[in-house]
Amino acid sequence: MDGTINLLLEKYSHSRRDSLIPILQEIQEEVGYLSEEAIVKVGNHLNIPTSKIYGLATFYNQFRFEPKGKYHIQVCHGTACHLFGAIRIIDIIERKLKVKAGQTTRNGKFSLEIVPCIGACAQAPVISVNGEYHSNLTEDHLGQVLIDLNGE
């Protein structure tokens, strides 16, 4: 991971603070999350205090501060999914997997993320597990998806 971040920062060798968000996005893309080490490195690189980077990163839903789990579950909370019960879905997942939004389970198996919209409004409510969509979810259907994942 060390090398990945260094390599990535080399690309931004003449950058200033306006590159902060693109850099953070790329790190998350490559490494999966923003570690403390990554935030410190970006801070040194752009000469920005870590508190400011952490403040900015926590402002946006897109950034996470723990590694993704083996199964990364994204729950769509766009307008359509909200109307079709996304909150209920989040609640069930949080209870069944004992994980909160933005966190990863201790065994590293599941991580949960709430995203504004994943662009499948016609099939609301939708979740995505490692990029694979489960659409028109009912409680039973969701329960089955979780059981299947847990069994694997």
Partner 1 sequence: MQFNIEVNNRVIEARKGETILSTLYRNGIKVPTLCNMKDLSPTGACRICVVEVEGKENLITSCSYPVEESMRIKTHSPRVVKARKTLVELLLSNHPDDCLYCERNGCCELQDLAIDLNIRERRISGKKSRHKLDLSSPSIIRDPAKCILCGRCVRVCDEIQSVSTLDFLNRGSKTLIGTAMARDLNFSSCINCGRCVMVCPTGALHEHGYMDEVLDSLNNSSLNVIVQYGPAVTVSLAEEFGIKPGKDINGLINAALRKIGFKYIFDTAFAADVVVMETVETLMQKLESNDGFPVISSCCPAWIKYAEQFYPDALPLISTCKSPQQVLGSIIKSYFASEQGINPNSIYSVSIMPCLAKKFEAQREEMTHKTISDVDVVLTTREFSRLIQLYGIDMHNIEPQTPDSPFGVRSSASKLFGASGGTTEAILRTLHFKMTGKEMSSMKYQELRMVNGVKEVAVKIGGKEINIVIANGLTGIRNLMEGILNKTINAHFIEIMACPGGCVNGGGQPFKSDDKDVKARMRTLYDIDDIDSLKVSHKNPLVIDLYEKYLDKEGSDKAKRQLHTCYSKRDVLL
Phi, psi of 71 (to 5 degrees): -110, 115
Nearer to partner 1, 25 or 50 (CB): 50
Distance CA 102, CA 94 (A): 11
| 53 is a site residue for partner 1 (CB under 8 A) | yes
Query: What single letter denotes the amino acid at residue 111?
Result: S
- State the nearest-atom distance from the C-beta of 65 to partner 1, in Å: 8
| 105 is a site residue for partner 1 (CB under 8 A) | no
From the number of C-beta atoms within 10 Å of its C-beta (0-12, 13-18, 19+), residue 25 rates as middle
- State the nearest-atom distance from the C-beta of 90 to partner 1, in Å: 15
Stretch that binds partner 1, among 12-20, 25-33, 51-59, 126-134 (CB under 8 A): 51-59
Residue selected from 16, 30, 36, 79 as contacting partner 1 according to rule CB under 8 A: 36
Residue selected from 9, 39, 89, 137 as contacting partner 1 according to rule CB under 8 A: 39
- 58-77 mask for partner 1 (x: CB under 8 A)? xx-----x------------
Name, in order, each residue with C-beta under 8 angstroms of 21's C-beta and a sequence gap of 6 or more: 56, 60
Report how far apart the first and last C-alpha atoms of the chain are (Å, whole number): 27
DSSP 82-103: HHTTHHHHHHHHHHHHT--TT-
- The site for partner 1 (CB under 8 A) is made up of 36, 39-40, 43, 49-55, 58-59, 65
